[in-house]
Chains A and B, each alone.
Chain A
Amino acid sequence: MTSISLNNITFSYNYFPSISGGLLRSNAGLKTKKALSEVSLDIQHGDRIALLGTNGSGKSTLLKVIAGIYKPEQGEVNTVGRIYTFLGRNVGVMPQLSGYDNLQIRGLLLNLSDDVIAQKVNEIAEFTELGNAIHRPVSTYSNGMKARLTFGMLMFIEADILLIDEGLGAGDQFFLEKARQFIDGLLDQSKILIFANHSNQLLKRFCNKAILMNQGKLISYGDFDQVLQQYNQQSSAVLKNQTQKIENKPSLS
């Protein structure tokens, strides 16, 4: 039974403001930014969740904490099931290597057996229609071909929990449709999906629930349409606020 449970998670980044070196203290001026504060969540199998929130609201950090890449400074993460992550556009594609080598490394990173990798790589090569280009260095690919390869890497899925952050853009119309059908087929009830994306259309297609994040806090979690409505209200309120400010400014005359 696949599940994710987060209990009171807090996580912050330490960073140096702009350029600060040569101060003869290694952590001179170190600042802290809280990215997640006291987030608790329970996700059961069959949940396909859309992660909503403005930029910098903690969506990516939340995904990384669930994936175990970041360890929270407070709270507990418990996941049952194999996790597959797809975070950001550069999925560790090495441009000097061929598409084929990149796919192989992806398979090895996921610790699949040689047979499975060979089989999957063939399937992916066929699906992405890269043809002979699969043996060319990725640095010679066009953007569309890169997008296809990136999507191909997603096809290695051998997991119960899918964490996807952006990344599913680009590619020509025909391929995009094909890709959507693939994901549709993939998301049977036994899997958990958490999908962060700014395209409501895409989210609506795949998700039945949604999480709304704001400044590191979990604002709401529930039915997709309701949460989306709340998100839209929130952002339109912010917009209205801003336009009012601009309108209230005295004109330069």
Chain B
Amino acid sequence: MDLINDILKGFSRHRLWKKLAVLELKARFQGAFIGAFWIVLALMIKVGMLSLVYSMVLGKDFETYVMFLAIGVLTWNFISAVIVTSGMIFRKAANFLQQMELPHSIFVFQNLYREIVSLIMYQFFAIPLVLFIKGWDFISWVWLWALLGYVIIILNGFFVSMWLGWLSVRFRDVQSLLASVVMIIFLVTPILWPPPEQFADSLYFVLNPFYHMLEMIRAPILHGNVPHLSFYVSTGVLVFNFLLCLIFYRKVKNRLVLWL
């Protein structure tokens, strides 16, 4: 199991990828007055503006809608950031990979860790928002399912960025494709709008894995129920992504350096 070996070796170098990720975050906000707080502020502005306009357009109750939107958008932010940045994972590391033999997974961990830091910071906005609107009584044990949902999303993110990273080093087209594909997914997935009731079972939603990923988080927190189907689908997607990496690792392992 070369892939597993790579992942274990990569994980054991956690001091390296944590350091790289933190430096990357610092560099991004270097010289900014409020620094890394921009991560949260940008989300707040986005959710604030969107919910003002869309609660009016869609004719929704503002309080319910703002919670729906906040949780959906922050989860989507994580997913889309992981996908879009995965194209650069190995290219950024070209200098290192051409200098010494290193496990590929180090750089996948680096990318994922950086986005997880953002994801955690988002929660400093989302959780108080929900508590502010609904009060303390709203907290329930069902929320733990949402936590499990995040774990599944993060694991998916790991394997997706690994194979997307390889793919975009091999085929230069992929990087340009990613941003536009992610935008389309954003528009066809119920993020800004809840699926209308008469279409709730539409195949457009049921067959969209991103919808299920979002539901794993939204359903437990907003409605207190566990969307079993969404958990099955997301786990299935995880297995698929894992197998993809497993199959391609052998082919890519020795050649990645040459493609860089």
Contact = CB atoms under 8 A, between A and B. Distances in A.
Contacts of A104: 19
A155 to B, nearest CB: 16
B16 interface: yes
A101 B25 CA distance: 14
B20 A92 contact: no
A109 interface: yes
Contacts of A85: 99-100
Contacts of A108: 13, 15-16, 19
B258 A92 contact: no
B24 to A, nearest CB: 10
B102 interface: yes
Contacts of B170: 26
Nearest to A102: B23
B23 A69 contact: no
Given A21-B172, A69-B257, A109 B27 contact: no
Contacts of B172: 21
A69 B15 contact: no
Nearest to A98: B23
Given A69-B99, A97-B23, A105 B16 contact: yes
Given A13-B258, A14-B258, A91 B15 contact: no
Interface string B238-260: 00000000000000001001100
Contact of B16 (A68, A69, A97, A109): A109
Contact of B15 (A67, A71, A114): A114
Nearest to A14: B258
Nearest to B106: A109
* Interface range for A: 20 to 34
Contacts of A92: 95-96, 99
A96 interface: yes
Contacts of B99: 69, 85, 87-88, 91-92, 109
A68 B258 contact: no
B19 A109 contact: no
Interface string B1-37: 0000000000001011001100100010010000000
Contacts of A64: 98
Contacts of B97: 69
Interface in A37-52: none
Contacts of B19: 104-105, 108
B101 interface: yes
Nearest to A12: B258
A109 B102 contact: yes
A90 B95 contact: yes
B245 to A, nearest CB: 19
A104 B16 CA distance: 9
Contact of B100 (A26, A101, A105, A109): A109
A70 interface: yes
Contacts of B15: 108, 114
Nearest to A108: B16
Contacts of B101: 67-69
Interface in B81-106: 95-102
B199 interface: no
A85 B257 CA distance: 16
Contacts of B102: 109
B96 A109 contact: yes
A84 B114 CA distance: 29
Interface of B: 13, 15-16, 19-20, 23, 27, 30, 95-102, 170-172, 254, 257-258
Given A70-B254, A108-B15, 19 more contacts: A13-B258, A14-B258, A21-B172, A26-B171, A68-B100, A68-B101, A69-B99, A83-B100, A85-B100, A96-B30, A97-B23, A97-B27, A105-B19, A108-B19, A109-B16, A109-B100, A109-B102, A111-B13, A111-B16
Interface of A: 13-14, 21, 26, 64, 67-71, 83, 85, 87-88, 90-92, 96-97, 101, 104-105, 108-109, 111, 114
12 contacts: A14-B258, A26-B171, A67-B100, A67-B101, A69-B99, A85-B99, A90-B95, A101-B23, A104-B19, A105-B23, A108-B19, A109-B99
* Closest 10 A/B residue pairs (Cβ): A92-B95, A71-B254, A108-B16, A68-B101, A92-B96, A96-B27, A85-B100, A108-B15, A92-B99, A69-B101
